Amino acid sequence: MMKVMEFIGYPEMIFAAVCFLSLHHLRSKIKTLPTNWPLLGMLPSLLINLPRFHCWATDILSSNACTFVFKGPWFTNMNHMVITSDPANMRHIFNTNFSNYPKGAEFNEFFDILGDGIFNADLDSWKTQRKMAHHFITDKKFQRFLVQTSVDKVKSGLIPVLEHVLEQNMVVDLQDLLKRFTFDTTLVLLSGIDPCCLAIEFNKFPYVDALDDAEEAIFHRHVIPVNLWKLQRFLGIGKEKKLSKAKEKLDQFIARCISTKRELQLEHEEKGVDLLASYMEHDDGSISDIFFRDTIINFLVAGRSTLSAALTWFFWLVSNNPIVEAKLIEELKKAISSENEDKKVKMFDTEYLKGLVYLHGALCEALRLFPSVPFEHKRPLNPDILPSGHKVDSKTKILPLLYSMGRMEVIWGKDCLEFKPERWITGEGRIKYVPSYKFMAFNSGPRTCLGKEIAFTQMRMVVATILYNYHVQVVQGQPISPKNSIILYMSHGMKVRIKRRV
Q: How far apart are CA 43 and CA 253, in angstroms?
A: 38
Q: Do strands 470-474 and 495-500 pair parallel, antiparallel, or not at all (unpaired)?
A: antiparallel
- The H or E element that residue 215 is part of is helix 206-223
DSSP 174-207: HHHHHHHHHHHHHHHHHHS------STT----HH
CA distance 332 to 353: 8
Number of H helices, E strands in the chain: 21, 8
pLDDT at 4 over 60: no
pLDDT given for residue 270 in this prediction:
54
The reported pLDDT for the residue numbered 195 is 95
Per-residue pLDDT, 341: 59
Per-residue confidence at 228, pLDDT binned at 50, 70, 90? very high
Binding residues for heme: 449
Q: How far is CA 354 from the centre of its chain?
A: 23
Helices (H), 236-305: 238-268, 275-281, 289-300
- 188: number of Cβ within 10 Å: 20
Identify the three-state secondary structure at position 393: coil
Q: How much is the average pLDDT of 241-254? A: 96
Query: CA dist 324 to 2, 355, 456, Å?
Result: 71, 18, 19
pLDDT score at 335: 78
Q: What is the pLDDT of residue 342?
A: 58
Count of Cβ atoms closer than 10 Å to residue 27 Cβ: 10
Most confident segment among 273-287, 341-355, 470-484: 470-484
Range of weakest confidence among 11-25, 356-370, 428-442: 11-25
pLDDT at position 167: 96
24 pLDDT exceeds 90?
Answer: no
Q: What is d(CA 106, CA 120) in angstroms, rounded to the nearest whole number?
A: 10
Question: pLDDT of 124-140, one tens digit each?
Answer: 999 999 999 999 999 99
DSSP state for residue 500 in the 8-state scheme = E
How far is residue 207's CA from residue 254's CA, in Å, rounded to a whole number?
9
Could you give the CA distance from residue 488 to residue 40 in angstroms, rounded to a whole number?
Answer: 28
How high is the pLDDT of residue 78? 82
pLDDT mean over 50-69: 96
Residues whose CB is less than 8 angstroms from the CB of residue 363 and which lie 6 or more positions away in sequence, other chains included? 310, 314, 456, 459, 460, 463
| Domain segments of the chain as ranges | 34-500
Whether 90 shows a pLDDT value over 70: the answer reads yes
**pLDDT score for 80:** 86
Q: What are phi and psi of 47, to 5 degrees?
A: -65, -40
pLDDT per residue over 338-363, tens digit each?
656 557 888 898 889 999 999 999 99
At 404, which helix (H) or strand (E)?
A: helix 402-405
CB 166 within 8 A of CB 200: no
Classify domain 34-500 at the CATH superfamily level: Cytochrome P450 (1.10.630.10)
CA distance 126 to 119: 8
| Mean per-residue pLDDT of the chain | 90
Residues near 222 by Cβ (< 8 Å), separated by ≥ 6? 110, 375, 377, 399
Mean pLDDT of 8-12: 43
What's the number of CA atoms in the CB half-sphere (13 Å) around residue 229?
21
Q: How far is CA 27 from the centre of its chain?
A: 31
**Is 355 or 26 the better-scoring residue by pLDDT?**
355
Q: Is the pLDDT of residue 484 over 60?
A: yes
pLDDT at 26: 45
Q: Is 37 helix (H, G, I), strand (E, B) or coil?
A: strand
Among 84-93, 171-180, 249-258, 340-349, name the one with the lowest average pLDDT: 340-349
Model pLDDT, residue 10 = 43
pLDDT of residue 343: 74
- Bind-site residues: 449
Nearest C-alpha neighbor of 190 from the set 269, 276, 132: 276
pTM (predicted TM-score): 0.91
Residue 179: which of 313, 304, 317, 314 has the closest Cα? Answer: 304
Count of CB atoms within 10 A of residue 333's CB?
Answer: 10
> How much of the chain exceeds pLDDT 70, in percent?
91
Distant-in-sequence, close-in-space partners of 266: CB < 8 Å, separation ≥ 6 = none
For residue 276, give the amino acid letter: L
Helix ranges (H only) for 282-392 are 289-300, 306-319, 322-335, 350-354, 357-369
pLDDT number for residue 285: 80
Question: What's the pLDDT score for residue 129?
Answer: 94
Would you say 377 and 218 are in contact if contact means Cβ atoms under 8 Å apart? no
Least confident window among 6-15, 137-146, 274-283, 454-463 = 6-15
> For residue 494, is pLDDT > 70?
yes
User: Longest Cα pair distance anywhere in the chain, in angstroms?
Assistant: 103
pLDDT exceeds 60 at position 12: no
In the predicted structure, residue 186 carries a pLDDT above the cut 50: yes
Say whether pLDDT at 164 is over 60: yes
